[in-house]
């Protein structure tokens, strides 16, 4: 089983934690990660692009000239797609870009992303993280003592408004709850910080292969 040091908010080692091999020592399949990231990004697309067809463009109700005798090509409307200012042919319309991936694939990708963080030594585990009141300075000081450089994903076991409010104004820092994280969050942040409670919640969901 992989093990990791447990730190306190002062950056001091206070123990050691054994991690589930099923979750934190899984095969890092890059193709799997790409498929899930692509799926998550597609779901975030707004899909609001829209163009007008010839029936939606204003004007063009009168035939521009008679059918025969002018020497020009026949036309029925100046809003035909071949005219400047006319409608668009097969242009985009509002749509959803969402599509579903198998649950097994999504779970396997989460294990791969978590394992990749551990392999690169970009996974830190906190003994506990409790704040009586929101205070951004405390989170900044904690990250400095933990030497958590670059972008940081700070994950707690359950909702904590004080932690959320303290971290939301820090550039490059994202706070999240264990059951809400996804592969895109993990890969888009350099350092992953989990509380012991968050580790337990993640292992509870992803350690049992039968749940996949």
Rounded-to-10 torsion of CA 12, 142, 131, 173: -140
Cβ contacts of 163 within 8 Å, gap of 6 or more: 129, 131, 139, 154, 156, 175
Domain locations in the chain as residue ranges: 3-44+101-211, 51-91
Name the pTM for this structure.
0.82
Asked if 170 contacts 139 with a C-beta cutoff of 8 angstroms, the reply is yes
Structure tokens at 31: 């193709």
Model pLDDT for residues 9-26, shown as the tens digit of each residue: 998 999 999 999 999 999
pLDDT band at 207 (very low <50, low <70, confident <90, very high): confident
Q: What is the third-level CATH fold of 3-44+101-211?
A: Ribosomal Protein L4; Chain: A; (3.40.1370)
Tokens of 168: 């939301």
Whole-angstrom distance, CA of residue 140 vs CA of residue 147: 11
| Partner residues linked to 17 by β-bridges | 4
* Res. 108: pLDDT tops 50: yes
Residue 82 has what DSSP assignment?
A: T
How high is the pLDDT of residue 170?
A: 93
**For residue range 51-106, what is the model confidence (pLDDT) as tens digits?**
999 999 999 899 999 999 999 999 999 999 999 999 999 999 999 999 999 999 99
């Amino acid at each position: 089983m992989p093990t990791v040091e447990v730190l306190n908010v002062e950056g001091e080692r206070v123990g050691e934690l054994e991690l589930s091999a099923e979750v934190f020592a899984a095969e890092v399949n890059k193709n799997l990660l790409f498929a899930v990231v692509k799926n998550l990004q597609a779901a975030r697309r707004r899909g609001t692009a829209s163009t007008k067809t010839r029936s939606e463009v204003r004007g063009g109700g009168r035939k521009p000239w008679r059918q025969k005798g002018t020497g020009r090509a026949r036309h029925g409307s100046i809003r035909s797609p071949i005219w400047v200012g006319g409608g668009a042919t097969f242009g985009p319309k509002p749509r959803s870009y969402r599509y579903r991936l198998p649950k097994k694939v999504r779970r396997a990708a989460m294990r791969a992303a978590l394992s990749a963080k551990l392999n690169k030594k970009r996974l830190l585990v906190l003994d506990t993280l409790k704040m009586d009141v929101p205070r951004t300075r405390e989170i900044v000081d904690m990250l400095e003592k933990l030497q958590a450089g670059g972008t940081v994903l700070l994950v707690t076991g359950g909702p904590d408004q004080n932690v959320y409010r303290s971290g939301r104004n820090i550039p490059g820092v994202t706070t999240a709850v264990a059951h809400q994280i996804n592969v895109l969050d993990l890969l888009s942040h350099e350092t992953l910080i989990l509380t012991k409670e968050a580790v337990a919640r993640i292992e509870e969901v992803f350690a049992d292969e039968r749940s996949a």
